[in-house]
Amino acid sequence: FQMDTTQESYLDLFPLDAIVYLTPDSENVLEDIDPSKVYVLGGLVDESIHKKLTLQRAQEQSLQTARLPIREYMVKTVNTKNYHSETLAINQVFDVLSTYYETRSWPAALKAGVSSGKGYVLPDAVKE
């Protein structure tokens, strides 16, 4: 993948209706990647997780939102900390999206990007 960096805001570079802000708090599930859309990953970099902050920012900017289909394809695993999070690092989201783009398989993509430490696994990985 070729990437360019700029100091300019995505709001100044692309039409609002072309931007999809990825946030784990969205009610909209990302079902497919649309090549005509621009996906915002890691719109906020923060050391702590602030619930719905990214969703709020996207709504303030009148942007479409979506979340990765973690709940649709993965199951919560039993873990000692009872920890389950759909919040991923930028590189994990990128791994999910790039794997999905190559394979067109959400299970393969989520396996590539969602570490077991997040408390989610593919159903076939659950040990009975």
The one catalytic residue among 4, 12, 46, 124: 46
Cβ count near 98 (within 10 Å): 15
The answer to whether 95 is a known catalytic residue is no
Segment (H or E) for 109: helix 106-113
In angstroms, the CA 25 to CA 53 distance is 9
CA-to-CA distance for 120 and 38, rounded, in angstroms? 27
Give how far the C-alpha of residue 57 lies from the chain's centroid of Cα atoms, to the nearest Å.
Answer: 15
Q: For residue 28, give every residue at least 6 positions away whose Cβ sits within 8 Å of its Cβ, in sequence order, or none.
A: 64, 65, 66, 67
Radius of gyration of the chain (CA): 15
Active-site amino acid positions? 46
